[in-house]
């Protein structure tokens, strides 16, 4: 098996020769070769260059025997293409020049334009990594709504929490649902094997409200897709099971309580530890599976810039040793 067939088989609950493994944010600042690219251009310039996106996505594949690759982009390019004017100020995280703070600002947004640079990046990565499972991705409508209404990352997203209960807020969530559906379909058409939806802020909502505000909209998106999908929800109560082909879970989620397919659950901070601790964390996740093999090894959230590159090698090898 190669990484592509292995990952797709695990997601389809088919036999695998060993567990597939990749890491969220496997392309990024922990790699000196990524920092070299970033020294020459901003993050958004990098996202807009399909050639450079392909280069940085290939960097971790050159170092580690990973099974999957993910197109280099960001969830926030969708609201940017709707006219919200995305900015990244070093050290500050993302913000929008035109946030959707009220009904008038939300109405001024248009349907996404000019996301072809993402699809070209998918096409180039497909050609450059034919044996790897290629993931496309998008933010969930709710998570995009949090950033777009708040205008920046802010604890608890109070503006978004208030807006979700208004008519204009619900209409904006529905427009984001349509935009995400189109964006994921275009990535699949460009050569992605699987798409992943990131519901990073799903855990801000209680479970019942989450089903209505976020889960139902993710279900509408995945129902439109023919290819497999993975849904990452940053909440440890197993919400989101059944919404997509697989559920990607954060650290602290018991894989034994889920029937799968699943992905994730190893804390990114484990990669700050020594090799024995990393191997023990991989074996602990494996023990939770209690014999089921419809699982993709991954972290519970993105790899951080502080991660030593050697720790990633240890993690990948530990998964491969499981067989
Ligand atoms: O290997 C990969 O996974 C690369 C593709 C990728 C990026 N962002 C690149 C990126 C993916 C899948 C994302 C998803 C994303 N972006 C999410 C959902 C996943 C999660 O982390 O919860 C969210 C919430 C965002 C929004 C975002 N983008 C934030 C909050 C930040 C700033 C935080 C930070 O790490 O600096 C970004 C920037 C970003 N997106 C970077 C990368 C590699 C760092 C940019 C740099 O080089 O300076």
Q: Is the CB of 75 under 6 A from ligand 1?
A: yes
- What residue owns the CA closest to ligand 1's atom 46? 43
Q: Is the CB of 147 under 6 A from ligand 1?
A: no
Name the residue among 7, 2, 72 with its Cα closest to residue 34: 72
What percent of the chain has pLDDT above 70? 100
**Residue labelled with tokens 């964390």:** 281
Q: Is the CB of 94 under 6 A from ligand 1?
A: yes
Strands 295-296 and 194-199, by their bridges, are unpaired
Show which residues are catalytic: 25, 29, 38, 74, 147
Cβ atoms of residues 300 and 235 within 8 Å: no
Chain segment 12-67, per-residue pLDDT in tens: 999 999 999 999 999 999 999 999 999 999 999 999 999 999 999 999 999 999 99
Counting from 1 in the atom list of ligand 1, the atom nearest the Cα of 196 is 12
Q: Output the CA 159–ligand 1 centroid distance in Å.
A: 22
Q: Output the CA 166–ligand 1 centroid distance in Å.
A: 29
d(CA 284, CA 242): 24
Confidence check: pLDDT of 238 > 90: no
CB-based contacts of 237: which residues, under 8 Å, 6+ apart? 207, 253
* pLDDT the model gives residue 90: 81
The pLDDT mean for the chain works out to: 97
Q: Output the CA 300–ligand 1 centroid distance in Å.
A: 14
Name the residue among 114, 58, 107 with its Cα closest to residue 86: 114
Chain segment 54-98, per-residue pLDDT in tens: 999 999 999 999 999 999 999 999 999 999 999 998 878 899 999
* Residue from 302, 303, 304, 307 to probe ligand 1 pocket by mutation (most atoms less than 8 Å from CB): 302
CA dihedral 303, 274, 284, 319 (to 10 degrees): 70
Name the residue among 318, 320, 322 with its Cα closest to residue 274: 318
- What residue owns the CA closest to ligand 1's atom 23? 75
Chain segment 101-150, per-residue pLDDT in tens: 999 999 999 999 989 999 999 999 999 999 999 999 999 999 999 999 99
Instruction: Report H helices in the chain.
Output: 3-11, 32-40, 43-47, 50-63, 77-79, 103-107, 116-128, 141-150, 158-163, 167-189, 207-210, 216-223, 275-289, 309-322
d(CA 12, CA 116): 30
Q: How many C-beta atoms lie closer than 10 Å to residue 314's C-beta? A: 18
In order, the DSSP letters of 248-305 are: EE-TT--GGG--S-EEE-B-GGGGGS-HHHHHHHHHHHHHHHTT---EEB-BSSPPPT
- What residue owns the CA closest to ligand 1's atom 11? 74
Q: Is the CB of 198 under 6 A from ligand 1?
A: yes
Omega before residue 266 within 30° of 0, cis:
no
Token pair in block for residue 173: 């969530």
Q: What angle do CA 88, 91, 95 make, to 5 degrees?
A: 30
């Amino acid at each position: 098996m190669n990484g592509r067939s292995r990952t797709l088989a695990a997601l389809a609950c088919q036999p695998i020769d060993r567990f597939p493994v990749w890491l969220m944010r496997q392309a990024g600042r922990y790699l000196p070769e990524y920092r070299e690219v970033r020294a020459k251009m901003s993050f958004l310039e990098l996202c807009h260059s399909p050639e450079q996106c392909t280069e940085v996505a290939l960097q971790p594949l050159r170092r580690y025997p990973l099974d999957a690759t993910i197109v280099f982009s960001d969830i926030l390019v969708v609201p940017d293409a709707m006219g919200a004017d995305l900015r990244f100020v070093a050290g500050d995280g993302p913000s929008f020049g035109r946030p959707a703070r009220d009904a008038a600002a939300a109405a001024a947004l248009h349907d996404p334009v000019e996301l072809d640079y993402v699809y070209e990046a998918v096409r180039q990565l497909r050609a450059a990594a034919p044996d790897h499972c290629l993931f496309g991705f998008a933010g969930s409508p709710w998570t995009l709504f949090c950033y777009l209404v708040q205008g920046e990352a802010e604890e608890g997203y109070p503006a978004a929490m208030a807006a979700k209960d208004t008519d204009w807020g619900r209409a904006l969530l529905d427009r984001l649902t349509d935009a995400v559906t189109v964006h994921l379909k275009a990535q699949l058409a460009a050569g992605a094997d699987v798409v992943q939806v990131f519901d990073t802020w799903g855990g801000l909502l209680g479970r019942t409200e989450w089903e209505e505000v976020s889960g139902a909209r993710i279900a509408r998106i995945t129902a439109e897709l023919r290819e497999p999908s993975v849904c990452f929800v940053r909440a440890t109560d197993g919400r989101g099971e059944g919404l997509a082909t697989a559920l990607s879970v954060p650290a602290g989620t018991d894989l034994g309580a889920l029937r799968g397919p699943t992905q994730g659950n190893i804390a990114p901070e484990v990669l700050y530890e020594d090799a024995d601790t990393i191997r023990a964390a991989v074996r602990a996740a494996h023990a939770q599976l209690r014999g089921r093999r419809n699982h993709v090894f991954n972290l519970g959230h993105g790899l951080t810039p502080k991660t030593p590159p050697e720790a990633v090698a240890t993690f990948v090898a530990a998964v491969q040793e499981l067989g």
